[in-house]
A and B are shown apart, each in its own frame.
Chain A
Amino acid sequence: MLRIAGKELFQKEMTPRQLLTTLILPAILIILVVIVAPIIFAFILSVNRAEPRLGGITLEWRGISNYIHYFFQSDQFWSSVRVTIYFTVVSLIIELLAGTVMALALNERFPARGIVRAIVLIPWAVPTVVNARLWEWIFAGSSFGALNGFLQALGFLPQGKNIVWLGFDIPFAGVPLFGDFFSWMGVTRALNMIILADTWKVTPLVIFLLLAGLQQIPGNLYEVASIDGASGWKKFWNVTYPFLAPIYLVILVLRTMELFRVFDIIYILMQYSIRVVGVFTYEVGMKFLRFGKGSALAFLVALIIFAFTMLYIKIFYKEEI
C-alpha cells in the first residue's frame, strides 16, 4: 500500500500549489512545533509571574510589569546590557580590522597559498567548549600558564611576575576618565581576555567571507587605479571597499547577533561573574527558576538585537533584500 502510494506521489502530475504544499508542509509543521509554539508560550510566560511546582507551573497574571521592571527599575539589567555592548563592539572592531588585514594578505600571491588558507580556517572549526577550555589553560594565572611563560620568554614580562589573566582588575583603573568609564561598563581583564579567545575562533570566518569578496574584483581595476596614480589607501577605498561593502554588512549583522547573545564561552570560563545579557537571562530563568522574568528578559534581548539589525540595514543597505 505504502509503496504504491509513494509511487503515485512521485509520478502524479501536481499543480504548483500541490507541489508547494507537499514540499513545504513538513518543515512548517516542525517549525510550528519546535519554534513558534514555544515562542508563544514564552510570551505568555513573560506577562505572568511563573514559578515551578511539581509537574508544571503556577501562573499569575502580571501584564507588562516584568518588562517594565527590567527596562525602568533594574540596574542589573542595564549593567548587563552595557557589558554586552562592550563585548560586542570591541569584538566586532577587532574581528573586522584583523579580518580585513589578514584577508588582504592572504589574497596576495605567495608560496603554498592553498595550504596556508586551509590552515587559517581551522580555528573556526574548534568547538566553542574546547576553545574556552584551551584558552582557560593558556591564560592560567600561575607560573605554568602558557601566556605568562611566553611573555616572559620574549622579555615582555619580568621573570617570575605572573599575571592573573582571568582576573577582575579594571583596565586603566587609576586613570581618571578611562578608569571610571571602564568600571562603569563593567570591563575587567578577564572580559578582555575572553574577547581575545573568542576573536581567535571567529576571525577566520570573517577572513573567508572577505576573501570571497576580494576574489570577485577584476585585477585590471587595480591597474587602472595605478595608472591614475592612486596610493595604496586610495586604491583600497575606491576599488576594494565598494566590492566588500555588502559583505561587511552581512558580517556586521551576523556577528552582532552572535556576539550579543554570547553565553557558552563566558559561562564556562567565568560562570556568573561576567553578567552579559545571555548569562543574566540564564541566571534569572534557569538558576532562580523565575520563568516569567526570564522570558521577559529573553524577549528584551531579542528586541535589542532586532533594533541593531534594522539600524545596520537602514544605514548600509540600499537594495531590496
Chain B
Amino acid sequence: MGNPLIHRRIRKTVVGVLIVLILLWTLLPLIWMALSSVFPYQELISERTGHWLPSKPTFKHYISFFDPTQEISSRFLSSLRNSMIIASTTTVVCLFFGSIAAYAIARIHFKFKRTMVMSLMFIRMLPTITLIIPFFIIVNVIDTALLRLFGVGVHLYDSRSLLTILYTSFTLGFVIWVMRGFFITLPVELEDAARIDGLSRFQTVFRIVLPLASNGLIATGVLAFLLAWDEFILALIFTRTEAAETLPLFIAELGSQYIHDFTQISAAGVIACIPPFLLVLLFQKFIISGLTMGGVKG
C-alpha cells in the first residue's frame, strides 16, 4: 500500500478491466441482435456451439420489409410511418405548449403555483393504466355518437389522432417539468434588458427566452420523442389495423403461437433502434443535461 507507483498501477488495471467488462456487457446483446438479423433461419436455429456467425449473411428480411410486393412490407411500412407521425406530432405539440407554460410557471408568481407543481409530480406517479380504463370508455362513447352522426368510417378508435392525443397526456407534463428546470437556471437579467430595449413581455418570451433555452428545448424534444417512440400499452389497446398500429406493437406481435422467426424479429428490432440511436448519439450532451434537469431541479 505504501508505494504510490504500485498503487496507481493496480488502480489502472482495475479500471481497464472494468471498462472492458462494461463494453462487453453493453455491446454483446446488441451485436447478437444485429447478427441474428442477417442469419439464414435454418442456421440460426441450430446448436449454438460454433454457430455464432452466419456462413452466408442474408439481408432478406430488411429487403422484404421495404419491398412493396412482399406481404409483410405493407404492415411494416405503415407501422413505421404511424410511429414517425405520432411521435413527431406529439413532440411538437407538447414542446410548444409545454415550454411556454413551463416559462410562466418558472418566472411568474401566482396563487396556486405550489399546488400546480406538486400535482404535476403526482401526475407523473400515476400508472398509465389509471388513464387507460376511462379513455377506453370515453372513446367508446364518442365513437358510438360519431357512428350515429356520420355513419361508418368516422371514428377515434384505431386512428393516429387518438394516439397522438393519448401520448400527449403523459408527455406534456413531462415537458413542463423538465423545461421548468431549464428556465429556472436562465438569468432574468437578459429578459430585463430586452424589456428596456422596448420589447413587449410576449415578444421577450419568443424572441429572447425560447432561443436562449434552445439547448433545453432540444434535450426535452429528444426525450419526448423517445417516450412516444417507446410507448406500447396505449397502442396495444387503442389500435387494431394498419391505420394506426405503431412499430413497437408490430414488433411485439411478430411471430405466431408456433413459430417465432427471430431473424425477422431482430431485423425489425434493428430498424426500430435506428432513430433513437441517432438521436442519442447526436444529442448526447443535451440529453444528459435534460435528464439531470428533469430530475435534480424538481
A and B part of one assembly: yes
**Chain A: residues with CB nearer than 8 A to chain B?**
9-14, 16-17, 19-20, 22-24, 26-28, 30-31, 34-35, 37-39, 41-42, 45, 52, 54-57, 101-102, 105-106, 108, 110, 116-130, 132-138, 140, 143-146, 148-150, 152-153, 159, 200, 204-205, 208-209, 211-212, 246-247, 250-251, 254, 257, 260-261, 263-264, 267-268, 277-278, 281-282, 285-286, 291, 294-295, 298-299, 301-302, 305-306, 309, 321
CB closest residue in chain B, given A114? B284
CB closest residue in chain A, given B1? A231
Q: Could you pull out 5 A-B pairs where Cβ atoms are within 8 angstroms?
A: A31-B172, A122-B26, A125-B273, A126-B273, A286-B237
How far is A105 from B110 in the complex, measured between Cα atoms in Å? 46
Q: How many A-B residue pairs have CB under 8 A?
A: 291
Q: Tell which of A34, A134, A208, A285 touches B33, judged by Cβ atoms closer than 8 Å.
A: A134
**Chain B: residues with CB nearer than 8 A to chain A?**
11, 15-16, 18-19, 22-23, 25-27, 29-30, 32-33, 36, 44-49, 51-52, 97-98, 100-101, 103-105, 108, 110, 117, 122-138, 140-141, 144, 165-166, 168-169, 172-173, 176, 200-203, 205-206, 226, 229-230, 232-233, 237, 247-249, 251-252, 254, 260, 262, 265-266, 269, 272-273, 276-277, 279-281, 284, 287-289, 291-292, 295-296, 298
Chain A residue numbers with a CB within 8 Å of B128 are 261, 263
CB closest residue in chain B, given A303? B125
How far is A156 from B49 in the complex, measured between Cα atoms in Å? 13
B141-A105 in contact (CB<8A): no
Known contacts being A122-B30, A209-B295, A286-B237, is A130 close to B123, with CB within 8 Å? no
B47-A144 in contact (CB<8A): yes
How far is A146 from B26 in the complex, measured between Cα atoms in Å? 15
Known contacts being A110-B19, A285-B129, A309-B125, is A10 close to B200, with CB within 8 Å? yes
Chain A residue numbers with a CB within 8 Å of B200 are 10-14
B269-A130 in contact (CB<8A): yes
A305-B125 in contact (CB<8A): yes
| 15 new A-B contacts at CB < 8 Å, known A16-B201, A105-B15, A144-B45 | A17-B110, A41-B137, A106-B19, A108-B11, A122-B26, A123-B30, A129-B249, A149-B48, A149-B51, A208-B291, A257-B124, A291-B136, A295-B134, A298-B130, A321-B298
How far is A124 from B295 in the complex, measured between Cα atoms in Å? 16
Chain A residue numbers with a CB within 8 Å of B52 are 149
CB closest residue in chain B, given A291? B133
CB closest residue in chain B, given A120? B26
B30-A295 in contact (CB<8A): no
Chain B residue numbers with a CB within 8 Å of A37 are 134
Known contacts being A133-B265, A306-B125, is A23 close to B26, with CB within 8 Å? no
Query: Could you tell me the distance in whole angstroms from the C-beta of B269 to the nearest C-beta in chain A?
Result: 4
A246-B296 in contact (CB<8A): yes
How far is A298 from B30 in the complex, measured between Cα atoms in Å? 35
How far is A145 from B49 in the complex, measured between Cα atoms in Å? 10
Q: Tell which of B97, B205, B252, B273 touches A26, judged by Cβ atoms closer than 8 Å.
A: B97
Query: Could you tell me the distance in whole angstroms from the C-beta of A147 to the nearest C-beta in chain B?
Result: 9
Query: Could you tell me the distance in whole angstroms from the C-beta of B139 to the nearest C-beta in chain A?
Result: 11
Chain A residue numbers with a CB within 8 Å of B130 are 39, 42, 295, 298-299, 301-302
Query: Could you tell me the distance in whole angstroms from the C-beta of A48 to the nearest C-beta in chain B?
Result: 12
A28-B269 in contact (CB<8A): no
Query: Could you tell me the distance in whole angstroms from the C-beta of B228 to the nearest C-beta in chain A?
Result: 11
How far is A27 from B273 in the complex, measured between Cα atoms in Å? 31
Chain A residue numbers with a CB within 8 Å of B287 are 121
A129-B248 in contact (CB<8A): yes
B292-A209 in contact (CB<8A): yes
How far is A275 from B14 in the complex, measured between Cα atoms in Å? 41
B101-A28 in contact (CB<8A): yes
Chain A residue numbers with a CB within 8 Å of B124 are 257
How far is A31 from B296 in the complex, measured between Cα atoms in Å? 24
How far is A301 from B132 in the complex, measured between Cα atoms in Å? 14
A282-B129 in contact (CB<8A): yes
Known contacts being A22-B202, A144-B45, is A119 close to B26, with CB within 8 Å? yes
B176-A27 in contact (CB<8A): yes
B266-A261 in contact (CB<8A): no
Query: Could you tell me the distance in whole angstroms from the C-beta of B8 to the nearest C-beta in chain A?
Result: 11
Query: Could you tell me the distance in whole angstroms from the C-beta of B42 to the nearest C-beta in chain A?
Result: 11
A56-B141 in contact (CB<8A): yes
A286-B132 in contact (CB<8A): yes
Known contacts being A261-B128, A286-B237, is A11 close to B201, with CB within 8 Å? no
Known contacts being A9-B202, A285-B132, is A212 close to B280, with CB within 8 Å? no
A30-B97 in contact (CB<8A): yes
B15-A108 in contact (CB<8A): yes
Q: Tell which of A13, A27, A35, A159 touches B97, judged by Cβ atoms closer than 8 Å.
A: A27
Q: Tell which of A119, A129, A295 touches B23, judged by Cβ atoms closer than 8 Å.
A: A119
B25-A110 in contact (CB<8A): no
Query: Could you tell me the distance in whole angstroms from the C-beta of B26 to the nearest C-beta in chain A?
Result: 6
Chain B residue numbers with a CB within 8 Å of A257 are 124-125
Chain B residue numbers with a CB within 8 Å of A209 are 291-292, 295
A205-B127 in contact (CB<8A): no
How far is A298 from B44 in the complex, measured between Cα atoms in Å? 42
CB closest residue in chain B, given A50? B137
B133-A286 in contact (CB<8A): yes
A125-B276 in contact (CB<8A): yes
